[in-house]
Amino acid sequence: MKPLHATSFPPSRDRGKALGARLVCVVLGLLILSACSRPRVHYLSEERYSAGSASREIRVLDGEVDQPFQAIALMDSQTYLQKDEATQERMRQDLIQIAQRIGADAIRETRVLSERKRGALPDERIPIPMAWKQGRYKEYFMRGEAIRFLDQEKSAPDDQSASG
Q: How far apart are CA 103 and CA 151, in angstroms?
A: 15
pLDDT of 119 > 90? The answer is no
Beta strands 132-149 and 106-122, pairing class: antiparallel
8 Å CB contact between 148 and 104: yes
8 Å CB contact between 51 and 100: yes
- Top-level CATH class of 39-125+132-154? alpha beta
Helix, strand, coil content of the chain in percent (nearest 5): 30, 30, 40
pLDDT at 105: 92
8 Å CB contact between 115 and 152: no
* Domain assignments of the chain as residue spans, ordered by start: 39-125+132-154
Confidence of residue 55 (pLDDT cuts 50, 70, 90): confident
Cβ neighbors of 37 (< 8 A, separation 6 or more) are 78, 79, 139
Confidence of residue 47 (pLDDT cuts 50, 70, 90): confident
Name the more confident of 163 and 36. Answer: 36
